[in-house]
Amino acid sequence: MLFISLLLLGGYTSAQNVDCSSKAVQDSLFESYSKKAHNYSFLDDAWGMTYDSLLALCPNIAEAYQEKGRPYIANGNYQKAFEYNNKAVELDPARWTDYRGYLNFVYTKNYEKAVIDFLEAERLSPNGFIQDHTYAFFTAISYMELGEYDKAETYFLKDIAQQKRGKGENDIHFNSLLYFGIMYYLMNEFDRAETYLRDCLQLYEQHPMANYYLALTLKVTGNSQKNIYFDKARQYILEGYKMNEPYTYVSFPRQITLYEVEKR
Amino acid sequence: MLKFILLLLLVTAGTAAQSQNLVLPYGEFMDTTVVVNPNCDNTYLIYYHHIDTRYPVSTESLLSKSKAFLSKTGQKYTGSGYITFRFMINCEGKMQRVRVMQVDDDYKTKHFDKRFVSDLNEYIHTLDRWQKAVSAYEMNNVNYIAYLSFRIKNGEVINVIH
């Protein structure tokens, strides 16, 4: 660490004498350069240039490529975003395959690639989590969006089983129940859809999407309670309630707005 | 001279959809023009994520409307991948300076048929619900940069990302 500090203080940028194969050296260098990069907005050219300096020193630091991809994710430049994230996966698949899966899932809605990445991530890190959810959660929604409902159901059940681990007393994430309900709605299995959506609302009464999709389900089945849930969805959106996923620059699958709720 | 002007008008009539596609060293654009609006604060570049805004309808709504728009053109489109438009929304909700990025399903650069890109460009110009008069960083009435991306499979739009 002292060596790296002296190296950085001296502005010494040669790879000579730096053991880039050492994970400890990589981590230490990454931490130092990240501190520098975070002096800037990630949209500033200096952000990427800081990581370029690091990669000139050690071109095998996967995290640096991932960081370089960030501005391109935010700006919809998929070519650059995946060029850097593919490099991160190539260098450290166990660390970055799930993240690329998440990018394929939420940022490009490339559900075919998301499934491939999450299945591989599961193989590399069984029962792993990313962004508050199991890999199975993202695999399930991806299969749902691909219309492969049998597989989606299998992975929703795996997601729930994984969350119930131990004594089986843990609460299930409300968005697992939400999307399980939406899947049954899409399958025209309205009784099951209603069950899961009501279960979701037991955990998060103000969930705008759960209220909306329950309203849609009740509308199809001719249940006069539908307007109660359309009204609730509208009210809770106006009060600022959200689906409470970690912040993303783009919408989650099937995410709704006030516009859809008001159309009923 | 009058004949020439009339001819020019006839030639250009109905070609609004055939938007230009300008290839510049820093990207490809459908339109590079920006009309400075004195009502808008242009001091700093603001991005949609700075102000936590996106076009205020769902992906499903945008998808069905874009498909309906494209079906009216009577065109047959081809190709798979993504057509992404990045643009400025001024403080009055008007879209300007539209950059276009095109990649295949593996995120490698490609070019769709120009007519397809032009028709989608024309579609995004019909969107009139952009957030207006936005405040950010102690500035009022800012312009902001946003994007919309169309995922395409065999010539059909299958998702809209925003």
Quote ipTM for the complex.
0.92
pTM for this prediction: 0.91
* Topology (CATH) of A92-170: 1.25.40
Is some CB atom of chain A closer than 8 A to the CB atom of B54? yes
Indicate yes or no: CB of A78 within 8 angstroms of CB of B103: yes
**Facing A251 at nearest CB: one of B58, B86, B103:** B58
* Topology (CATH) of A1-91: 1.25.40
Q: Kindly list the domain boundaries of chain A, sorted by start residue.
A: 1-91, 92-170, 179-264
Q: pLDDT digit string (tens) for A102-113? A: 999 999 999 999
Closest chain B residue to A77 measured between Cα atoms?
Answer: B101
At residue A94, the pLDDT reads 97
Partners of A234 in beta bridges: none
Percentage of chain A beyond pLDDT 70 is: 94
Q: Which domain covers residue B136, as residue numbers?
A: 25-161
Query: Residue type at A200?
Result: C
**Facing A76 at nearest CB: one of B60, B86, B129:** B86
Backbone angles phi, psi at A256, to 5 degrees: -115, 170
Indicate yes or no: CB of A257 within 8 angstroms of CB of B49: no
In a domain, B10, yes or no: no
DSSP letter string over B72-110?
A: HHT------EEEEEEEEE-TTS-EEEEEEEEE-TTS-B-
**Facing A43 at nearest CB: one of B47, B86, B103:** B47
Percentage of chain B beyond pLDDT 90 is: 75
Q: Are B82 and B149 in contact (CB under 8 A)?
A: yes
In a domain, B77, yes or no: yes
Q: pLDDT digit string (tens) for A217-241? A: 999 999 999 999 999 999 999 999 9
CATH of domain A179-264: 1.25.40.10
| pLDDT in single tens digits along all 162 residues of chain B | 444 444 443 333 334 344 457 888 889 999 988 888 999 998 888 999 999 899 999 999 999 999 999 999 999 999 999 999 999 999 999 999 999 999 999 999 999 999 999 999 999 999 999 999 999 988 999 999 999 999 999 999 999 999
Question: What is the number of alpha carbons within 13 Å of residue A29 lying toward its C-beta?
Answer: 30
- Structural domains of chain B, count: 1
Indicate yes or no: CB of B105 within 8 angstroms of CB of A256: no
